[in-house]
Amino acid sequence: MIHDAQKGDLEAFNRLVLAHQSRVFNVALRIMGDPDSASDATQEAFISAYRNLRRYRGGSFQGWLLRIVTNACYDELRRRKRRPATSIEELSTEPDGNPGEPRLSLASRHQGPEAAAEDAELSRAIEDCLRRLPDEFRVVAVLADVQGYEYAEVARMVGKPLGTVKSRLARARGRLRDCLRHYGELLPSSLRLQDERA
Amino acid sequence: MMRRLSDLPLRDLELLSAYLDGELTPREAGRLQARLDGEAGLRWALEELRRTVSVLRSLPEVRPPRSFTLTAEAAGSRARAAAYPVLQLATALATLAFVAVVGLDALSSRATGVALAPTFREQGELLTAAPVEEATLAPTSEPPQALSASAPEEPPAASEIQAVGSATPEVPIGLEIERSSPGAGPGTATAFPTAMPEESSAADQTGPVEGTPCEACGGGQAPAEAEPLIGAAPLGSPSAQTTPTLGPQAEKLGGEPEIADQANAPAAFSSPSSTARPSLPTLRLAEIGLGLAAALLASLTFRVRRKR
């Protein structure tokens, strides 16, 4: 399929898009923090992938796609930093959205509206904490912890040395834990963070 | 007591995080394990990191709001995107070639102008050389006194002619006067108004020259009649062939073929430019062609860039 797509077969490429778009979109969503920006980044990433398909030299195709979408997200985040007024406004209004209307169609792990609402609350708490991280920490945390990629894969995706990835991930986890501690009551008991007992 | 994970030494935080993911070397893992056995704070930190990772992993996959498959239009932009760098390069090359041809044209135009000057100088040398030859021949047919007598009373005019013709100053004035009218012709058109009356006056003084082709040509006495003079010169050639046996008048006539020869000088003048001229239209055509190509490619590149 990849070989056909490299020859210019659009249908073959679109089959690849359908196979990978969920993962690509989710990475973009966790990095960008809102579905609209994530959709834009995802579309941009697939267009970029199609244009540069000849440069793909084997290996994990999904990893290659995630590297592209990560770069697309970085580009957008840099653009936002150059326009801080817009960015701050977007970031300050999003967490205050109506909690009764989840913006994302979550694939609930539980049955029932109450459980779904709790899941949505938890997701919002995690998203909020992720959003508070510096961009380079957030990207690593999303790829390694949210998506479950190994350090080496993450290093390839972000184009940084393994040591940098380790360091960023450790600090990202530390900050996330300190942030999530404030949402203790939202967390399942098995995951609830504990205070240290000296 | 509540404590922040970010308060931990960074090195410990990194070790714990990597230990959690099995990314430590066995040696590092062994050392950390020993520390964990003895330090409750480290054990707590490790557990908090484990829970944090579990919380993050609990984030559900979100269904994409739409399909991201590419349309044919978006796919078309791939070809445009591929063509863009090629077009950029082609535009740059066409522009460079255009500038090079324009520069070449400018240089060749200057070179042509510069090249003409030596040619004029060469022609001038030819013109001055001819009277010298004439001067060597003249004594056989006529003494120099006769020549000088042909224009005895016009020293100012002779000097004037000499100045106009810019010939070698050491040439006898009489010879200058005799050949000044045709010789100065190629140099400047202004030579004719001064030279023609000179010759006519000299002819008047020598009398027998009347009725010769020179009279016919000199009859007009107008600068515009320089061409008929040149054209009429060969008519005198039959009589000119008898130059050695003729007197001073014939010597004057004998000058006519030379006049005719040197009257061809303007044609020789045009030869450098005539050799340069064929290349100029070629350069101009190349300039126009390259200019148009560069403009066309630039507009095409711009359009492709907008549609990308």
- Which position has the higher pLDDT, B247 or B17? B17
Which range, A84-88, A152-156, B196-200, is most confident? Answer: A152-156
Q: What is the b/e burial string over A62-101, where b = at least 16 CB atoms within 10 angstroms of the residue's CB?
A: bbbbbbbbbbbbbebbeebeeeeeeeeeeeeeeeeeeeee
Do the Cβ atoms of A174 and B14 come within 8 Å? no
Closest residue in B to A24 (Cα) is B64
Which residues in chain B are closer than 8 Å to A47, comparing Cβ atoms? 70, 74, 77
Closest residue in B to A183 (Cα) is B55
Please choose, from the candidates B116, B101, B196, the residue with its C-alpha nearest in 3D space to the C-alpha of residue B157: B196
Do the Cβ atoms of A109 and B5 come within 8 Å? no
DSSP letters for B209-234: TTTSHHHHHHHS--GGGHHHHHHHGG
Q: How far is B94 from chain A (nearest CA, A)?
A: 26
* Cβ–Cβ < 8 Å for A141, A176: yes
Which pTM was predicted? 0.52
Scan residues 17-36 of B and list those with Cβ closer than 8 Å to A.
Answer: 17-18, 21, 23
CA torsion through residues A94, A95, A97, A101, sign: positive
pLDDT the model gives residue A19: 93
Supply B113's token pair. 């102008």
Do the Cβ atoms of A196 and B51 come within 8 Å? no
pLDDT the model gives residue A181: 85
- Which position has the higher pLDDT, B163 or A3? A3
Reported as a pLDDT band with limits 50, 70 and 90, residue A4 is: confident
Do the Cβ atoms of A194 and B57 come within 8 Å? no
Please choose, from the candidates A27, A12, A15, A10, the residue with its C-alpha nearest in 3D space to the C-alpha of residue A63: A27
Q: What is the ipTM of this complex?
A: 0.80
Task: Provide the residue count of chain A.
Answer: 198
Please choose, from the candidates A168, A145, A165, A164, the residue with its C-alpha nearest in 3D space to the C-alpha of residue A154: A165
Mean pLDDT over A42-71 rounds to: 90
Mean pLDDT over B234-258 rounds to: 43
Do the Cβ atoms of A119 and B60 come within 8 Å? yes
Does position B127 have pLDDT exceeding 60, yes or no? no
Reported as a pLDDT band with limits 50, 70 and 90, residue B115 is: low
Which residues in chain B are closer than 8 Å to A17, comparing Cβ atoms? 67-70
Which residues in chain A are closer than 8 Å to B47, comparing Cβ atoms? 194
Kindly report the average pLDDT of chain A as a whole number: 81
- Percentage of the residues of chain A whose pLDDT score is greater than 90: 51
Q: How far is B82 from chain A (nearest CA, A)?
A: 8
Reported as a pLDDT band with limits 50, 70 and 90, residue B126 is: very low
Closest residue in A to B54 (Cα) is A191
Contact B68/A at CB under 8 A? yes
Reported as a pLDDT band with limits 50, 70 and 90, residue A38 is: very high
Tell me how far CA of residue A181 lies from CA of A22, A115, B44, B46, B106, in angstroms.
Answer: 30, 21, 14, 15, 78
Scan residues 40-69 of A and list those with Cβ closer than 8 Å to B.
Answer: 42-43, 46-47, 50-51
In tens, the pLDDT along B209-245 reads 444 444 444 444 444 344 444 434 444 444 444 444 4
- Percentage of the residues of chain A whose pLDDT score is greater than 70: 79
The residue written with tokens 């066409």 in the block is B94
Which residues in chain B are closer than 8 Å to A25, comparing Cβ atoms? 62, 64, 68
Mean pLDDT over A149-173 rounds to: 94
Closest residue in B to A178 (Cα) is B4
Which residues in chain A are closer than 8 Å to B55, comparing Cβ atoms? 122, 126, 176, 180, 187, 191
- Asked which of A66-80, B122-136, B211-225 is least confident by mean pLDDT, the reply is B211-225
Task: Provide the residue count of chain B.
Answer: 308
Which residues in chain A are closer than 8 Å to B8, comparing Cβ atoms? 174
Closest CB to B57: pick one of A104, A145, A180: A145
